[in-house]
């Protein structure tokens, strides 16, 4: 029972250490939400192979969404006309380097890792999005096409 108490006590202390950074991250995210409307963001992610990928990675970096929350947003971007590479770039950049993640990195790691983490996320997101736009397929095959190809 003592071990469980110690785990809970240390978890509470970590929560208290990180809370101010999380509050700051949510504050910055609220400011971004107020000043950057989703309609304007979606307007820039339409056609092209490189520019929409870079823009979607830049837009995704400060948004505090986890990997579960980013999927519906990326799906919405895709439905609004974003190309595959832009949606993929957004899905990678957002949970990798959101404002809340940067704040937690500052609290729990050090300033060097706090800088390296979003830079690495940005490079990874751009590389993956551009590779998708140049080498990926535009269409997702449906079940009927797969059955015809396999002969089932």
56 and 90 in contact (C-beta within 8 Å)?
A: yes
| Nearest Cα to Cα of residue 53 among 96, 97, 98, 83 | 83
| Nearest Cα to Cα of residue 88 among 125, 139, 135, 136 | 125
Burial class, 25, CB count within 10 angstroms (exposed 0-12 / middle 13-18 / buried 19+): buried
Instruction: Report whether pLDDT(33) > 60.
Output: yes
Q: Which of 62-71, 123-132, 141-150 has the highest mean pLDDT?
A: 123-132
Tokens of 142: 């449906």
Instruction: Report whether pLDDT(28) > 60.
Output: no
> Mean pLDDT throughout 56-84?
76
Q: How many CB atoms lie within 10 A of CB 141?
A: 10
Tokens of 36: 């950057």
Determine the pLDDT at residue 67. Answer: 67
121-130 pLDDT, tens digit per residue, is 899 999 999 9
Query: What is the pTM assigned to this prediction?
Result: 0.64
């Amino acid at each position: 029972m003592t071990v469980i108490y110690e785990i809970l006590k240390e978890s509470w202390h970590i929560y208290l250490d990180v809370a101010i950074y999380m509050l700051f991250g949510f504050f910055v995210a609220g400011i971004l939400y107020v000043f950057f409307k989703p309609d304007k963001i979606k307007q820039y992610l339409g056609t092209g192979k490189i520019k929409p990928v870079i823009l979607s990675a830049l837009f995704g970096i400060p948004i505090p969404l986890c990997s579960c929350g980013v999927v519906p947003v990326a799906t919405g971007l895709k439905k609004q006309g974003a190309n595959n590479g832009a949606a993929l770039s957004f899905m990678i950049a957002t949970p990798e380097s959101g404002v809340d993640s940067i704040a937690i990195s500052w609290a729990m790691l050090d300033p060097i890792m706090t800088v390296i983490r979003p830079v690495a996320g940005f490079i990874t997101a751009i590389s993956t999005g551009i590779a998708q736009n140049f080498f990926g397929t535009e269409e997702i095959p449906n079940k009927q096409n797969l059955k015809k190809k396999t002969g089932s």
